Amino acid sequence: MQNAQQELRSALAQRTGTSADDWFLVYRARHGMLACLRVLHELRGAGSVITQLLTCCTAVDPIIAAGLRPLYGDVCAGSYALDSEALPVADDVLGIVDQHTFGYIDEASSTRLRAAADARGALLLEDCAHCVGRMAMGSGGAPTADLSFHSFGVEKMLPTYFGGAVWVNPAMRDRTLHDALVAALAGLPEPDARLARAMRRYRTQIRVLNHLPHALSGALRRWMEARGLFEAAISPEEMAGKVAHEPLAMNEWACEQVLGPLRALGETDALRVRALDAYARELADKPGLRTSEQMLRSGQPLLRLPVTMPTDAQADEAIAGIAGVGLYAVPWYRPLLYPGVSDAAAYGFDQTLAGLPVTARLVTGAVALPCDLNDDQVHGVVEALCRAAEAR
């Protein structure tokens, strides 16, 4: 009889057409990435990883924590992911991150990034945090990436709070590196008893905190966090280039929480695809509201649909208006390295955004719209956007 960990690996393999033997379960996706980048650093030495600023700080923290250097490339306006034609030039590139922003997979772009990684002798690291159980595939139907990172964490595709998974490509050319990656991931310890208790309490704690006045909620959250009683989705140290905890595996309880929602993901995906169709209809005659036509017409189940308002103030007004109709939009990725960093120097973050014109344009007035909605809810969201756009 399979345990929950075995079942979860099998479910991920079934969704992606891969083997369960190549999947490894981690406490958080960032833990899996850190474990892998440490192995890469150990075997290939110091170097850089090309990534993007239009992302969460926790997607860059593992690069820094592993002793590597993040290099930031500009993104494509259609995919919100790295532009293969605008990658920074460096002689020490060890990895390139292919982030499927908001869950949009641009397979042609992934193929170009694969070629760019091969030309540099680097790994292609696939960030599937927003599209758990989906991966970029090449023309032959095989996965494009060397390593694929998936998240079951807060505000991702599943209504879960902890856990992630790493897929290691069994066809990786460097067999020594492949075997070392597998050994590192397979050898991760599970959370200790204190952390396991904090994980179980998280859902209840969040409900209580969300019902308290803001000042009291913040103070209580900080008090619990300092005593190891609360596991924040992003800790203060993770806004300064570090990763909370040493890399850990996913325990049986966390796997049990993921299995049911993962099995029901097909229904949620269908809802999200229908919501995109509704957004396409609602936005058709509203040229003042800029979005990614590639994402809008993709037919893919997106976590969020990005819209760029003329100003940050109008974007904030739109988010407030959407909250006013009982829905939840977010300012991803405003600020860059969301939700912002406390030590820009640790990230090598040039805040002038020199050489990153598309990134600079997309972050201004950024709003990320919910996609798990029905037609009436989509209509309400777009009306709130229009009201904010007219508030000059």
Report the residue count for the chain: 392
Residue 161 half-sphere exposure, CB side, CA atoms within 13 Å?
17
**What pLDDT, on the 0 to 100 scale, is given for residue 212?**
87
**What pLDDT, on the 0 to 100 scale, is given for residue 1?**
45
Q: Say if residue 333 is preceded by a cis peptide, omega within 30 of 0.
A: yes
Quick one: tokens of 47? Answer: 């170097």
* Separation in Å, CA 41 to CA 69, 102, 355: 11, 29, 27
Between CA 243 and CA 47 the distance in angstroms is 19
**What pLDDT, on the 0 to 100 scale, is given for residue 392?**
63
In the predicted model, residues of the chain with pLDDT beneath 70 are 1-2, 392
**What pLDDT, on the 0 to 100 scale, is given for residue 211?**
87
CB 386, CB 315: distance < 8 Å: no
CB 238, CB 343: distance < 8 Å: no
**What pLDDT, on the 0 to 100 scale, is given for residue 341?**
97
Between CA 349 and CA 340 the distance in angstroms is 11
Helical (H) or strand (E) element with 362: helix 357-363
Q: Which residue ranges form the domains of the chain, and what is each CATH number?
A: 1-263 (3.40.640.10), 265-390 (3.90.1150.10)
Widest pairwise Cα distance in the chain: 63
Quick one: tokens of 35? Answer: 């474990």
The β-bridge partners of 369 are 305
Strands of the 69-72 sheet, one edge to the other: 23-26, 164-168, 147-151, 123-128, 93-99, 48-51, 69-72
Between CA 40 and CA 32 the distance in angstroms is 12
Helical (H) or strand (E) element with 177: helix 175-186
List all residues 6 or more positions away from 13 whose beta carbon is below 8 Å from its beta carbon. 19, 20, 22, 23
Helical (H) or strand (E) element with 25: strand 23-26
Between CA 198 and CA 121 the distance in angstroms is 41
**What pLDDT, on the 0 to 100 scale, is given for residue 285?**
87
Q: Single out the residue of 75, 90, 8 nearest to residue 265, CA to CA.
A: 8
Question: What DSSP character marks residue 249?
Answer: B
The β-bridge partners of 97 are 125
Between CA 299 and CA 339 the distance in angstroms is 29
Q: Say if residue 339 is preceded by a cis peptide, omega within 30 of 0.
A: yes
Q: Single out the residue of 6, 1, 22 nearest to residue 255, CA to CA.
A: 6
Burial of 21 (0-12, 13-18, 19+ CB in 10 A): exposed
**What pLDDT, on the 0 to 100 scale, is given for residue 391?**
76
